[in-house]
Amino acid sequence: MVLFDDERLLHTPVMLDEVMSFIKPGKDDIIVDATIGAGGHSREILKMIGTGGLLIGIDKDAEILKIASKNLSKISKSFKLYHADYVDLSAILNELKISRINGILLDLGVSSMQLNSEERGFSFIREGPLDMRMDRSKGITAEDLLKRLPEKEMEEIFWRYGEERRSRSISKAISRERRKGEGIKTTTQLAKIIERAVYTPKKHTKRRKIHPATRVFQALRIVINDELKSLEYFLNNAHEFLLSGSRIVVISFHSLEDRLAKNAFRKGKNTSTLKILTKKPLRPLESEIKKNIRCRSAKLRAAERT
């Protein structure tokens, strides 16, 4: 089990300056951080909205909400945290008797603390159980999913949600391992199966820039947490919560998420409900990538409620 000491509680927020320049939190504003994580971005938002404002933080991970609360309490008490999916925002605002808000932030990355926690199963770098659930109070684990999935469905999932070109070879390798009867129980066990399927002496496969398990782990995480369905629904309806002139910022980490954000913003533009502020997604500066390598795939898109 990973214990979070005070130093590790200070999660490094991705593209912080860019986020703040688009959200533009002002005094007494109501801002929603819909995937608050450890509160990296929200610490800065709290400083800007002051004691008369309100930060609403949402996350499916109950464990990381405790960390966010500790981090944010050092700045201000002007926040409320909810263990929920961001698609529940309407119900949360109804509970608070709030009709409109001044900004929405959606950072879709897995936090460093989740990746560094062996027991969460998000990373193939560390030995841990194949879990991958954001909310560990419900749902099936990645281990359970791999037990149930027919080979063809596995292949389709790895291709569709991970954009993995070797999805067939990897699915066949997992099926062979399952037939041994011992099951696939850990992150490193799965990663090694994938690596053997991709790197074969006969094919002299060139080594990739990323680990061969990266896209498969991504695909499993998306399916386990039903991420894309929730994201598409939220992005197509988020403008309903925003005051005129207020903004939504989305930070995505792979092409499927970014495509949903782009399409939703275009739809908003076509219906005259949104003004697109980023013709192309912004990327982190090289100086930021050097300090935080995990941000290298981040893309930021922003839009304004008309």
Asked if the structure places residue 281 within a domain, the reply is yes
* 13 and 105 fall within a common domain: yes
* 159 and 96 fall within a common domain: no
Q: Which domain holds residue 84?
A: 6-113+227-305
User: Which of 189, 206, 224 is the last residue in one of the domains?
Assistant: 224
The pLDDT score that the predictor gives to residue 116 is: 77
pLDDT in tens, 31-55: 999 999 999 999 999 999 999 999 9
Kindly give the pairing relationship between strand 54-59 and strand 242-252: unpaired
CB atoms inside a 10 Å sphere around CB 208: 12
* 209 and 85 fall within a common domain: no
Asked if the structure places residue 122 within a domain, the reply is no
Asked if the structure places residue 119 within a domain, the reply is no
Q: How confident is the model at residue 2 (pLDDT cuts 50, 70, 90)?
A: very low
* 219 and 238 fall within a common domain: no
* 232 and 269 fall within a common domain: yes
DSSP3 helix / strand / coil % (the chain, rounded to 5): 50, 15, 35
* 215 and 232 fall within a common domain: no
The pLDDT score that the predictor gives to residue 5 is: 40
In angstroms, the Cα distances linking 48 to 39, 44, 130, 137, 225 are: 14, 7, 40, 34, 32
The pLDDT score that the predictor gives to residue 207 is: 53
* 237 and 277 fall within a common domain: yes
* 280 and 213 fall within a common domain: no
Asked if the structure places residue 43 within a domain, the reply is yes
Asked if the structure places residue 118 within a domain, the reply is no
pLDDT in tens, 279-291: 999 999 999 999 9
Q: How confident is the model at residue 1 (pLDDT cuts 50, 70, 90)?
A: very low
* 154 and 232 fall within a common domain: no
pLDDT in tens, 204-261: 445 556 789 999 999 999 999 999 999 999 999 999 999 999 999 999 998 999 999 9
Q: How confident is the model at residue 96 (pLDDT cuts 50, 70, 90)?
A: very high
Asked if the structure places residue 120 within a domain, the reply is no
Q: Which two tokens stand for residue 229?
A: 């369905």
Q: How confident is the model at residue 3 (pLDDT cuts 50, 70, 90)?
A: very low
Asked if the structure places residue 127 within a domain, the reply is no
* 88 and 157 fall within a common domain: no
Lowest mean pLDDT among 23-27, 121-125, 152-156, 192-196: 121-125
Q: Which helix (H) or strand (E) holds 115?
A: helix 112-116
Mean pLDDT taken over the chain: 91
The pLDDT score that the predictor gives to residue 200 is: 60
* 29 and 105 fall within a common domain: yes
* 241 and 211 fall within a common domain: no
CATH number of residue 168's parent domain: 1.10.150.170
Q: In what order do the strands lie in the sheet with 79-83?
A: 79-83, 54-59, 30-33, 101-107, 242-252, 299-305, 274-276
113 pLDDT above the threshold of 80: no
Q: Domain count for the chain, please give it.
A: 2
CATH number of residue 298's parent domain: 3.40.50.150
Give the mean model confidence (pLDDT) for residues 161-177.
Answer: 95
User: Which of 224, 259, 274 is the last residue in one of the domains?
Assistant: 224
Number of continuous H segments (helices) and E segments (strands) in the chain: 14, 7
Asked if the structure places residue 209 within a domain, the reply is yes
pLDDT in tens, 259-281: 999 999 999 999 999 999 999 99
**Short-list 217, 16, 34, CA closest to 108:** 34
The pLDDT score that the predictor gives to residue 110 is: 81
CB 145 within 8 A of CB 223: yes
pLDDT in tens, 175-188: 999 999 888 999 99
User: Which of 185, 204, 224 is the last residue in one of the domains?
Assistant: 224
